[in-house]
Structure 1
Amino acid sequence: MTAELPSPADADASPRRPSVGLMLRHPAHVIAFGAGSGLSPIAPGTVGTLWAWASFLVIDHWWGQGQAADLKWAWLIGLGTLVGWWASTHTARSLRVADPGSIVVDEVLAFWLVLWVVSPAGFWGQALAFGLFRYFDAAKPGPVAWADGLFKHRPGQGIGWAQGLGILLDDYVAALCTLIVMALGVSLRQCTGWGWP
C-alpha cells in the first residue's frame, strides 16, 4: 500500500482509470470510491447513493434512536466530511481528474445527512428523499450549479484542497435543497391536507 500523495503537477498527466486495484492501493481511495460503489460503470453517483442508503439503514438500526444516536450521526457526518475532503483530494490527484464521477463519498455523506434529518421517515419518505437528492445532484439546478462551479479546476492548475472541497460542496447543497423541498411538502400537507408525510 503506497502512502505517497501525488503532486498537483500530476494533474497535467493523462487521467488514470478507476479500478479495484487502484482502490486497494490506499485507504483514501476506498473511502472516496464508497467502498467500491463508485466503480460502477453505469451511474456511479446513483449507485453510491444507494450504497449510502443501505449503509445508513444498517448503522441506524445498530445505533437505535434517541439523543445518543443523533450525537453519533452528527460526529460521523462531521468527521466524515473532513476525512472525505482528504480522501477526495488524494483520489482526484491519483486519478489526475479534478472531479471524477467514481468519487462518491460526497453522495454518501450528503445522503446520510438527508436520511438522518428526515428520520424516522418510512420507506416511501426515504425513497422520495432519494429521488429528490438524485435530481438535485444530477441536474444541478440553481444553487447546486453555483456550488459545483465554486472551486472548479482551471487548465494548468494543479488539483488541490479546493477541488477536494468542491467535490463535497455541491452534494451538501443538493442535500439542503432536498430537505427544503421535503419540508415544504410536509408544511403543505399540514396546511391543506395535500402533500406528503
Structure 2
Amino acid sequence: MSDKYVLDAASRRALLAHPAGWVACGFGSGLAPKAQGTFGSLAAILPWLLLRDLSVAAWLVIIVVGFAFGVWVCDVAGRALGVADHRSVVWDEFIGQWIALLPALVAPWWAVLAGFVLFRIFDVWKPWPIGWLDRRVKGGMGVMLDDVVAGVFAAVVLWIVLRFV
C-alpha cells in the first residue's frame, strides 16, 4: 500500500479509518510531511506537561498501559499501511518520550528540553541494543520496543546530568 517514507492519500485514509490509526499516528502528529518522529515526540510533551504533577508510580502505570495499548495500535496501523513501522506511526515516540522525561518530573524547565533532545538522539542514532531490536523484533512489539529502550537510555543520561547540576 505504501512505502516506508511516503504516505499517499489512500494510505492516509486506510490509517485513519480505524480509531487505532488515530492513536498510532499520534493524533495526527505523525502525518507531518517530514520529521514525523520529531513531531510525534513534540506532541507527546503536551500531555506530559498537563499530567506532570502525577506521581512517578502513576506515570509508570500510564507507560505500561500505553506500551501494551501501543503494541496493538501500531500493529493495526502497520497492517493497514502494509508497512510494519511506517514513519507516520509515532505512538512509540509518545511512550519513549514519556520514559525519557521521567527524571524531569521534579526538575527545572530545561530538563524537559534536554529529555526531548536526548530521546531524539537515541531514537535516531539507535546504538546497541536499540538498532538490534529495531531490526529483529517485528510487528507492534518491534515498533514499540526500540523506542522504549531509547527512552530508558535518555532517562538514564538525563538522571545523571540532573544529579551533577
Q: TM-score range by the shorter chain?
A: 0.7 to 0.9
Indicate the RMSD between aligned Cα atoms, in angstroms.
1.8
Q: 1:86 aligns with which of 51, 72, 88?
A: 72
In 2, Cα distance between equivalents of 1:120 and 1:98? 36
Look up the match of 1:32.
Answer: 24
Look up the match of 1:45.
Answer: 37
Look up the match of 1:185.
Answer: 161
TM-score where L is the length of structure 1 = 0.74
Q: 1:163 aligns with which of 139, 142, 147?
A: 139
CA contact (8 A) 1:147 1:173 kept: no
In 2, Cα distance between equivalents of 1:129 and 1:76? 18
Please tell me whether residue 140 in structure 1 is matched to residue 146 in structure 2. no
Deviation at 1:59, TM superposition (A): 2.5
Look up the match of 1:98.
Answer: 84
Look up the match of 1:71.
Answer: 57
In 2, Cα distance between equivalents of 1:22 and 1:121? 41
Structure 2 residue matching 1:36: 3-state secondary structure: helix
Compared with structure 1, are the counterparts of its residues 35 and 133 closer, same or farther at alpha carbon in structure 2 (3 Å cutoff)? same
**Structure 1: 4+ residue segments shifted above 6 A:** none
In 1, Cα distance between equivalents of 2:161 and 2:59? 25
Compared with structure 1, are the counterparts of its residues 91 and 36 closer, same or farther at alpha carbon in structure 2 (3 Å cutoff)? same
| Structure of larger gyration radius | 1
Higher helix share: 2
Look up the match of 2:94.
Answer: 108
CA contact (8 A) 2:101 2:155 kept: no
Deviation at 1:143, TM superposition (A): 2.0
CA contact (8 A) 1:32 1:91 kept: yes
Sequence identity, in percent? Answer: 35
- Residue identity in the other structure for 1:37: S
TM-score where L is the length of structure 2 = 0.87
Structure 2 residue matching 1:122: 3-state secondary structure: coil
Gaps of 5+ in 2: none
